[in-house]
Structure 1
Amino acid sequence: MTGPIQVLHVDDDPAFADLAAEFLEREGDRLNVRTETSPENALEPVREDDVDCVVSDHDMPEMDGIELLEAVRDERSEIPFVLFTGKGSEEIASEAVSAGVTDYLQKEGGTDQYTLLANRIENAVERYRSQRAVERGKRRFEAIFDNTYQFTGLLDPDGTILEANEAALSFADTERDAVVGDPLWEGPWFESSPDARESAREGVEAARNGDLYREEIAIHGVDGEAIVDFSVRPVTNEEGEVILLIPEGRDITELKDRKAALRRKERRFEAIFDDPNLLVGLLEPDGTIVDVNDTALGYVDVDREDLVGRPFSEAPWWTDEYREAVEGWIDRAADGEYVEYDAVHPTDDGGSVTVEGTFRPVTDADGSATRIVVSAKDVSERERRTRQLERRTRELKRRNERFDEFASFVSHDLQGPVSTVRGRLDLALDTGEMEHVEHARRAMERVDHLRRDLVDTLRTGEVVSTVESADLDALFETVWTAIDPPESASYTVDDASVEADVDALRRLLENVVRNSIEHGNDDVEVRFGAFDRGIFYEDDGPGIAPEHRDHVFTPGFSTKSGEEGIGMGMASVRQIVLAHGWEIEIDEAAELAGVRFEIVTE
C-alpha cells in the first residue's frame, strides 16, 4: 500500500531524537517523523490516532520502553511499536515480545542503522494496514452477509456449501452445521421441489463455467412456499479461475403478488378504457390530459397526439359554457372527491350528445390523487326515449281526459232519451196506445246510436290501419242500407273513388247521413262525391249556422235541443278525419239547400 507514514519517535535525548528523525525521513521518503522526549506526552497523539507507528527508546526516566509499549497497547492494540534501544539484552527483548512489541532493534554506530530502521517501520506499517484492510473487508462482508434479507451463501466450485447467512438459515429453520458440506441442491430449501433442485444444479454448473445463472423459482421454508429470484454467480481470481460460487435468493413473493394485483387493476382499467360504450380520459391531478380512448376520439375531429398534454377543460368536448365547471370538477377530484356530472358535448358533425359521467380520483397509499379517470356514457338515445315516453304519457293523459269528457257527455245525453223511454212506457201502460211504444222504441234507437258513436269515437285513433281504394257509390249504398232512412229520402253519388280505410270511412258516412236524417225531413236529399281536393257530402237540411261551425265537432255539442240532441256523431267524424291525416271544412251546400262537408284528402 502507498501513502505517507506518520512516525512518532520517543527518546529522552532530544539531540538523538532529532538526528534519528532527519535520517529516517532521508531514508524513507514516505516517512513523516514526529519526535517526543516525554513518554507521557507521547500517548496523546496515539490516542488521537495521529500516528501509524511508534519508535521508542527503552531507558527513559519517566517510564521505560516496555511500560510505554504496554500503555500504547492499552490505547491501540494493533499499532506497530518498534523498540529502538542502545542497551539491549535478551531479558529486555523477551519482555518486549511478551508485551506485544512489533520489532526490536538495537542502536548501533553509523547511518546504516537508520536505513534498517526505516525499512522495518515501512514493513510493519504495511502489514498493519493490510491487516486493517482485511479486517474492514471481513467486517463489511459479515455485515452484508448476515445483515441482509436476501438468502446468501458461499460454495466451492463443485457446489458444496461453505457458508449460509442467517436469512437463508432462518427461512429453512435450520442450523449452519446442518447444511455446510452438503451440495447446494440437497439443502432444505430445495428438498420438496424437484424443479427447484434442478435449478440449483443448473445454477452451480453455469457459475462453475464462469456464467451468471438467474431464475425465478419456488422454494419451501418453515412458513411455506416463496417465490425467489435465485442466482448463482462465480468469483474468480486474478488468473480468471473460478474459486468460489455465491448463491443468492431474494424473496419476491410479495412483489409478485403486488405485480399481479397491479396487473389485475391494469386489466380492469384497460377494460374500462377500451369500453366502446364509454368515453374515457386519463388526467394528471392538475387536469392535463395523459390519454383518451378511441371512443372519446370518435366524437371529435382531432388526433390523440394533439390532445395529450393539453388542459382537459380546453379539449373540444367542452363548449365555453362548461369550461369553468370542468375545472371545478377536476379540483374536486384532485382533492379525493368522486364527482358525478352530466353535460352536452358537441360532435364533429355539428350535432351534440348528452352524456352522464364521473371524475374519479386514483389515489396512492397516502390517499393523494395521482391520476384522475374521467368516464362518460352517451345517454342521447335514452334521453330521446325518455322524451318520447314523456310525450306518449302526455298524449295518453290528454286522451284519458277526452275519454273522461266523453263519459260526462254520454252520461248527460243519456238522461234525455232514457227519461223519454220511461215516460212513454208509463203512458202506454196507462192509455194502452201503441203510439207511445213507438216513441219509446225510437228513443232506445237513439241510445243505441249513442253507444255506437261512443265506441267509434274511442276507437278512431286505432281503427285507421289498412288504406285502400274505396269506390264511393258502392260504399255509400251499404251506408244507406244500414241507416234505413225514410222511404221518401234520396241520395246521389258521384262515380269516383278515394284512398281510405273503408270501415272507418263507412262509420264517418253513417254519422253524417244519420245527422242529415235527424236534422232534416223524411224526404231529405243528400249528395256524396269527389272534388278537386278530396270528397264532399251535402244535404238539403236546415244547414249549420256559421257561429256553430267551430263547435260542431266538439264532443257533446248539438244544434238541437231536447230529446234528439245527443251531439256525439260529429265528434266521431272529426276523429276519423284526423286519423287519416285529412282536414274537414263546413260550408253551405253547393247544389242542395243545406250543409256541405268538404274533406280535404290531399
Structure 2
Amino acid sequence: MGADGTPSRWPGDAADTGRSDGSTGADRGPADPAAADAFVVTDRDGLDRVQEVDPTRPVVALVDDPIGSFATDPTVDAIATDPTAVDGHVAWLLAREDTSIRDTPSEEPSRIERLQNETARLATVRSVEEAYRTTAAIADEVFPEYHVGVGVLDDGWIEPVAVSSNVDLDDCRRVRVGRGSAGIALDRSESVVTPAREGDGRQITVPVGDDAVLQVSTGDDTGFDAGDKRLVELLASHLEETLERLRADTELRAERDRLLALFENVPDPAVAYDFTDGGPRFRRVNPAFEETFGYDEETVVGEPIDEYIVPETESERSEADELNAKLRRGENVRREVTRRTADGERHFILHVIPIHLDAENVAGYAIYTDVTERREREATLRRQNERLEEFSSIVSHDLRNPLSVAEGYVDLARDTGDPDHLDHAADALTRMDRLVGDLLSLARKGEVVGEVEPISIASVARDAWRSVDTGDAALDVEADVRLDADATRTRELLENLFRNSVEHGSTSNRTQSGDSVEHGSTGSRAGSGDGAGDGSPDGAERSDPTVTVRIGSLGSGEGAEDLGFYVEDDGHGFTEDPDHVFETGYTTDEDGTGLGLAIVRRIAEAHGWEPRATTGEGGGARFEFRAG
C-alpha cells in the first residue's frame, strides 16, 4: 500500500521482483546499523559487532560450513550457504520476530467486540465469493484505519478478489506464491508480519487454508497493536471455517441432487421415509411408486407406510414389525415381501437403506423391485418340470404296458392263426389311444387359460354334457353360478368330471328294480330344458338313470354365486382317500388312464380355483371348486 492509501501492488506487497522479500537490492547506500531490520554476518567478528550494536535483531550467518560453530551459537537465528538464499531467510525471520508490532495494544476490547459482532454475518453467506466480500467488509468495521485484501490461489499466483472500502481492487496486482509476504505466508502456511518499506505500510498476512490469504496493511509506517495480529488470525479462521462449510454444503447439495435425480428416475418404486412414532412414514415417493401403488405423493406424505401397502394378514403385519425393528437399529434390509398395489397383491424384493441421524430419528430410502412375473415364471418352470417327470413316468410305464399287451396278442395271432387275439390287441391299442389323447390334453391345455369373461356354469355344463357319451345318466342343475372364467377350458373340466361320474359312478351293482327310482333323476329340479342331458332322444321313453350328476353353488343367499360351484353324483363314491384322486396316474379302473382328474385340477388351478374332492351327502363323489 502506498503512503497515500493507494495500493501500488496487491495487497500491500512489493512487486514481484524476483526477490523473496520484495526488495530490489539496488540503491541501498551505506548501511546504518541502528536502522537495520536484520543483520547478515560472515564471520565471528561480524557476529560480535552485531551483539554490540543490537543483540535483539535477527541474525543470518552466511558461511561455507553449515555445521560449523555458528550452528550451535544461540545468537544466530539462521544459516545460509548461498548468498541468493539470504533474502528469504531475512524475510522469514522478520515475519517470525514480528518486529513491527507494538507491545501495547490499543482499543483491543472494542475491536474484539466488533469482530465478534461482525463475524456472525459469515454464517449467512451462500457462496465463496460472498464469503470473501463479507470478510473484507468485516475487516472494514474492525480495522477502519487499515487497508485489507483477500487473495485466492490461482495457478501459482495469488489473485486479489476482495478489498476493503478504502482500496480499489483494480489497482491491486497479483503476486507469485513464495514471493512477498502474501506468497511466503501461503507457501509456508504461517502468518507473516513485515515491517514498513519505502512506499508500503506494515503488513500482517495470514493464510486461509491452502488456497487463500488475508492481508491487513497500515498504509504507512504506523505499527500494529499486539492484539491486531491475533484479531486478523481470528478473522482468517472464521473465513476458513466458512469456506469449509460452503464446500461441504456444495458437496452435500451435489450429492443430494444426484440422489434426487436417481430417486426420481429409478424405474422401480422408491420411497424416502422418516422413522417416527414407532414406524416408517412417507417423506417422498417417486413416479414409479405412484404408478405401481396408485397413491400420489400429496396423499401419502406424512402417513404410515405400512397402513397403505402392507397386506392386512397377521403374517405380513408381523413381518413388517420385524423389518421396522431392524430399521430402528439402523440395519440394512433386503428381503422378498408381498405388498398391496393398484393391481392387487404383488411380490417385491424390498431393499431398505436407513440413515441413522440420531438415537431417536431414523430416515432412509426403500426400493421395491417387482418380482411377481419372475416368481410366476419360476412356478411355471417348476410345474413344467414336474409335468415332464409325470410324462416320463407315463410314457415309460403306462404306455409301455398296453403296447406290450398288443405286441403279445399280435404274436399269438401270428402263431395260432386265431383272429380273436387281434381283438385283444385292438383293445390295448384303444387304451393307448385314450392315454395319448389324455396325455396331450394334459400337456397342451392343463395350465392354459385364454380370455376370461363372465360365464354361466349351468350353460357351460349343459354344453359339456351333450359332448360326453353319458348313456342313460342324468344331469341335474340345481343352481346357476356366474364366474369369470375361460369357457372352453371350463367345459373341458366339466367334460372330464361328467365322464368320470358316468364311467365310475354306475349304480348297476346296487339293489335293482326297487332301488332304481331312488337313485334316478327327479326331473323336477332339472326342468324340461335338461331332457336331452340324460342321453335319451327327445320324446323317447326314458329308463331310470344309472347315475345322476348334480351341479350347483357352494353358497346360498345373495352373492353366494361368487363362492364357487360343485359337481356331485350319486354313484359309488370313493373307495380310498379322496385327497389322492387329483394325482396324475391315480385310477381305480384297470382301463383308466389316471389323467382325467389331473387335467381337472390343472384347469382349476390355472383359473385360481381351489379344487377339493369329498364324499357327497348320498355317498357319491363330490367335487368342489372354490373361487379364489
Give yes or no for TM over 0.5: no
Structure number with greater Rg is 1
Question: TM-score, structure 2 length as denominator?
Answer: 0.40
